[in-house]
Amino acid sequence: MNTVTVALGRRNYKIFIGRDLLARLEEFLPRELSSRCLVVTDDNVDPIYGQRLINVLKSLGFRPAKVVVPAGEASKSLAGAEALYDRAFEHGLDRRSPIIALGGGVVGDLAGFIAATYMRGVPFIQIPTTLLAQVDSSVGGKVAVNHPRGKNIIGAFYQPSAVISDLSLLDTLPVREMRSGMAEVIKYGVIWDDAFFQYLESNLDAAMGLDSRVMQAVVARCCEIKAGIVAEDERESGLRAILNYGHTIGHAVESLGGYHLKNHGEAVAVGMVMEAVLARQMGQLDVKELERLMALIQKVPLDISLPGEWHKQQAIELMRQDKKAVGNEMFFVLPECIGRVHIKKVSDQQLDDLLPVE
Ligand code: ADP
Ligand code: ZN
């Protein structure tokens, strides 16, 4: 097992990474929890792992209630949150009752939002079940629901008490979700760590095959990198923006495809390549580095072509809404080489030259 500590001001918490951790849950839980607790999961994960978690909790003396939400982004709504508050009150949860998220990013964000707000904050335990959630959304303390005006637009920064990343849970993850998570894994190599990128170049197949030694190293390194960045910039003023590499274009790609043509990681893969091409066009990135990136992404394999629904003007409009934009000026996270990025203003003309019409 690997342990990564996330240090945020006075508050520290640990991420535990390894196989078969669910059975050892008591080692990872904080002290002084109330026995009544709430498990939040979705209707794909529940039939596979729901009962197992409930049994473990009962064996430790907890009295768990469980809420199963429909899988998918639509569950991350205020209406969905309200149903969870109702359940929390019904079951008699108090200020020391943990809310336990068992699922991917959707469940983590929703359950975390409830944990942050129910009685102004109760202990939050994350058990991420997707690669994407283990390397990304479970680290950093962002919790949120969606609003018709935007994704993740109602939320808070709220750190969990513990994150238990049980790699065995990935055994049942659909391969498309596994590949999507791998896009974010590759991102960490590009923005921070050439040695890690090289490790992925040599060990990608083992990672995709869920080799436990390799996967443990991979998830731990991603968590370490993200935890380090977030610790320096908890509230997203500067450094944290580099985590956004591949996402300025990626979000537009995801949105144009209606969030189903390409899922998050698939869109980020396209965004990472296009933003690297942009860096190359601006004379900042060696062609060899661009080729390394493309080769690794294609090895996953992730498709780096634009979705059929591509529409250049709409894409640019979406990019203008990016949170890095200031007024009319657009900023991108551009790689200088594998392992180092910087944030740079990109002119309309440069963007126009990059993006194909269709
Ligand atoms: P993400 O973590 O990628 O942000 P989701 O929470 O939407 O996104 O999870 C992606 C999909 O994978 C959902 O349909 C979810 O039900 C399913 N899923 C999550 N974890 C597992 C797992 N361990 N085994 C099988 N399916 C899973
Ligand atoms: Zn992402």
pLDDT at 258: 81
- The set of residues, in sequence order, having a beta carbon less than 8 Å from that of 150 and lying 6+ positions away, is none
Q: Has residue 198 got a pLDDT over 70?
A: yes
Mean residue pLDDT across the chain: 95
Q: Give whole-number Cα distances, 30 to 33, 123, 205, 227, 319, in Å.
A: 7, 9, 36, 20, 42
Q: Has residue 61 got a pLDDT over 90?
A: yes
Ligand 1 atom with the smallest distance to the CA of 42 is: 16
CA distance linking residue 113 with residue 76, whole number of Å: 9
Q: Has residue 76 got a pLDDT over 70?
A: yes
Q: Please state, as a whole number, how many other Cβ atoms lie within 10 Å of the Cβ of residue 52.
A: 13
Q: Residue 94: what are its φ and ψ, rounded to 5°?
A: -115, -170
pLDDT at 266: 97
3-state secondary structure at position 73: helix
Token pair for 280: 């190359």
Kindly indicate the confidence band of residue 358, based on its pLDDT and cuts at 50, 70 and 90: low
| 264 noted as active-site residue | yes
Q: What element of type H or E holds 13? A: strand 11-18
- pTM for this predicted structure: 0.96
**Among 44, 224, 244, 262, which one carries the catalytic annotation?**
244
Kindly indicate the confidence band of residue 259, based on its pLDDT and cuts at 50, 70 and 90: confident
pLDDT at 339: 98
Which of these, 106, 150, 89, 100, lies nearest to 125 by C-alpha position? 100
> Cα angle at 84 between 81 and 87, to 5 degrees?
155
| 247 noted as active-site residue | yes
pLDDT at 154: 96
pLDDT at 235: 67
- pLDDT tens for each residue of 262-298: 999 999 999 999 999 999 999 999 999 999 999 999 9
Q: Has residue 356 got a pLDDT over 90?
A: no
Q: Using only the alpha carbons of the chain, give its radius of gyration.
A: 20
Of 113-122, 183-192, 221-230, 320-329, the range with the lowest mean pLDDT is 320-329
% of the chain residues with pLDDT over 70: 99
Which of these, 248, 244, 247, lies nearest to 230 by C-alpha position? 244
3-state secondary structure at position 12: strand
Ligand 1 atom with the smallest distance to the CA of 108 is: 6
| 142 noted as active-site residue | yes
Q: Has residue 324 got a pLDDT over 90?
A: no
User: Is 244 close to ligand 1, i.e. is its CB under 6 Å away?
Assistant: no
pLDDT at 98: 98
Q: Is 152 left (phi over 0), alpha (psi -120 to 50) or beta?
A: left
pLDDT at 347: 92
Kindly indicate the confidence band of residue 323, based on its pLDDT and cuts at 50, 70 and 90: confident
Q: Has residue 211 got a pLDDT over 90?
A: yes
pLDDT at 309: 75
Q: Has residue 335 got a pLDDT over 90?
A: yes
CA distance linking residue 338 with residue 324, whole number of Å: 22
19, 40, 45, 259: which to mutate for ligand 1, most atoms within 8 A of CB? 45
User: Is 105 close to ligand 1, i.e. is its CB under 6 Å away?
Assistant: yes
Q: Has residue 236 got a pLDDT over 80?
A: no
How confident is the model over 82-87, as a mean pLDDT?
Answer: 98
Q: How far is the CA of 71 from the centre of ligand 1 (A)?
A: 7
pLDDT at 116: 98
3-state secondary structure at position 132: helix
Q: Has residue 250 got a pLDDT over 70?
A: yes
pLDDT at 237: 65
User: Is 111 close to ligand 1, i.e. is its CB under 6 Å away?
Assistant: no
pLDDT at 8: 80
User: Is 172 close to ligand 1, i.e. is its CB under 6 Å away?
Assistant: yes
pLDDT at 64: 98
Among all chains, which residue has been given the structure tokens 């977030």?
Answer: 230
Kindly indicate the confidence band of residue 151, based on its pLDDT and cuts at 50, 70 and 90: confident
Query: Is residue 265 within 8 Å of residue 181, measured between CB atoms?
Result: yes
